[in-house]
Structure 1
Amino acid sequence: MRHDNLPTLEVCASPALLHLYNVPASIVVIIDVLRATSTIASALYNGAARVIPVDSVEACIRTGLETGGLTAGERDGKVVEGLQHGNSPLEYPRSFIEGKTLVLTTTNGTRLLHKSAGARQIITGSFPNLSAVCDYLTAQQLPVILGCAAWKDRINLEDLLFAGAVAERLAPHFHVHCDTALAAGQLYRLFRDDLFSAVRKAVHYERLAAFGLEEDVRYCLTPDIAPVLPLLQNGALKAAAR
């Protein structure tokens, strides 16, 4: 197959490697499966007006006061003292979040999002909005960087699994000349029929399970239960028209 006219698709396995990629030319997909980008998809699918990602607890509190938004976030899997809510996608049903602004800070996902400033576009991806992400990227036909939030710059399993799922679906439409993308695709093919069993072996699962958050993990690994496309515009993530 000729690749002359196809845009590139690459996987960045850690924020520490982002400087090696051509961010300004690309759509960057922020991936933080457990749990930030799953929570963002859940909140927007359930009618949140916007999600404002911030990179510190102080900025979260300040932005919440300025916007009248709900403040939420975690550090190391735990709700941060001083914030109103946590980083669980199950905390934001339509009956609670519809029409509201959510201001969110997390250990890894919102940090990567801010590091990606200057990208051609920024969207967020997770299994709950897998098809929405793939459909959007296919339609845009621009270079793509699948950016894994990882865990404090260390590669993690669940983000690579999602990157592999996207790379697999988009392979016919993109030039995938990236060993990380190929490895992620192989990983996804190996575990696609039982993602939960794979992620149960992951270090981040152990952190969340210790807080009794297994139900969160199952939600975060369920494809297309929050089919929305979060697009960053003017510092806020909003559901793009589909």
Structure 2
Amino acid sequence: MTEQNERPSLEVCLSPALLHLYDVKNSVVVIIDVLRATSTICTALYNGAAKVIPVASVEECVNIGRQLGAITAGERDGKIAEGLVHGNSPFEYPRDFVEGKTLVLTTTNGTKLLHMAKDAIQIITGSFPNISAVCDYLVAQGQNVILGCAAWKDRVNMEDALFAGAVVSRIRQHFSMNCDSALAAETLYHAASSDLYEFMKKASHFQRLARYGLEKDIRYCLTPDGANVLPLLKNGELIAG
């Protein structure tokens, strides 16, 4: 094993509003939007979607979907966005619906951060349903890593920090870590790890989604390795790596 100071760095960015403080150009960036964009992305790809195209606006989503004959989907503030047929629930994308198709997706927080990190060495997306694929990839690459939390309208949120902490806990021995956000996220994860769902009941986004009866979505999005594929961003499209 190499010496500590020769290892790549591992950092956590808890909000898109802080991303400018990190060396994105020399890092692999993991986009984290647990509830629910990155959980839905890995689920769609796991179930055979050809690709997922993340876009910033509903208008762009509709236009690209029309051009490609693709599924258009997305949400704003936890609800299906006006003008779109499908939302951001992973349960909307079973294999018999999504296999071989292109999904164009716009979300409140996750797609914004994807575009902000465009200069990274590589962008991948992560959530609990594909945590093992994410961790294996990051260790194998041997590059600096930024775990980028999509947060909620730039405000730090519980679920993305928990996932970042779970990744830190799994892979920290392979990296140099001089990042208080990473330490804080890992500490939070260890406090919650015995029952993530119960712990998340305190969180604002849990309560927001629960008002729409989406507890099943929340539980799925907090469960490890239910859709263990690696979404890689290539030419603006997420494909299964």
TM-score, normalised to structure 1's length? 0.98
2:4 is the alignment partner of 1:3:
yes
Residue in 1 that maps onto 2:72: 71
Q: Which amino acid aligns with 2:109?
A: N
Match of 2:192 in 1: 191
Report what 1:155 is aligned to.
156
Q: Secondary structure at the match of 1:83?
A: coil
Q: Within 5 Å, which residues of 2 pair with 1:113-192?
A: 113-192=114-193
SS in 2 for 1:4: helix
Question: Which residue identity lines up with residue 220 of structure 1 in the other structure?
Answer: C
Structure 1: which 5+ residue stretches go unaligned?
none
1:219 is matched by which residue type in structure 2? Y
Structure 1 letter corresponding to 2:203: A
1:141 Cα deviation from its structure 2 partner: 0.5
Structure 2 residue aligned with 1:221? 222
The CA deviation string for residues 123-178 of structure 1, in whole angstroms up to 9 with x for no partner, is 00000000000000000000000000000000000000000000011111011110
Q: Which amino acid aligns with 1:8?
A: S
**Paired residue total:** 240
Tell me which residue corresponds to 2:82: 81
Structure 2 unaligned regions, length at least 5: none
In the other structure, the counterpart of 1:19 is 20
Alpha-carbon displacement from aligned partner over 1:68-102 (angstroms, at most 9, x marks no partner) = 11000000001012112000001101111000000
Q: 5 Å matches for 1:25-36?
A: 25-36=26-37
The residue that corresponds to 2:231 in the other structure is 230
Give the SS at the match of 2:6. Answer: coil
Question: Does residue 100 of structure 2 align to residue 102 of structure 1?
Answer: no
CA distance in 2, matches of 1:97, 1:115: 27
Counterpart Cα distance in 1 of 2:7 and 2:197: 33
Structure-1 residue corresponding to 2:55: 54
Distance 1:31 1:94 in 2: 23
The aligned amino acid for 1:178 is C
Alpha-carbon displacement from aligned partner over 1:29-58 (angstroms, at most 9, x marks no partner): 000000000000100000000000000001
How far, CA to CA, are the matches of 1:63 and 1:199 in structure 2? 35
Q: Percent identity?
A: 67
2-structure distance, mates of 1:162, 1:47 = 24
> Normalised by the size of structure 2, how large is the TM-score?
0.98
Rounded Cα–Cα distance in structure 2 between residues aligned with 1:181 and 1:81 = 37
Root-mean-square deviation (Å): 0.8
Once residues 201 and 41 of structure 2 are traced to their aligned partners in structure 1, the CA distance between those partners, rounded to angstroms, is: 22
Q: Which amino acid is 1:52 matched to?
A: I
Deviating 4+ runs (over 6 angstroms): none
- For each residue in 1:204-229, what CA deviation from the matched residue of structure 2 results, as whole angstroms up to 9, or x when unmatched? 01110000000000000000010000
CA distance in 2, matches of 1:212, 1:109: 21
SS at match of 2:52: strand
Give, in angstroms, the shift of residue 2 of structure 1: 3.5
How far is the alpha carbon of 1:4 from its aligned partner?
2.2
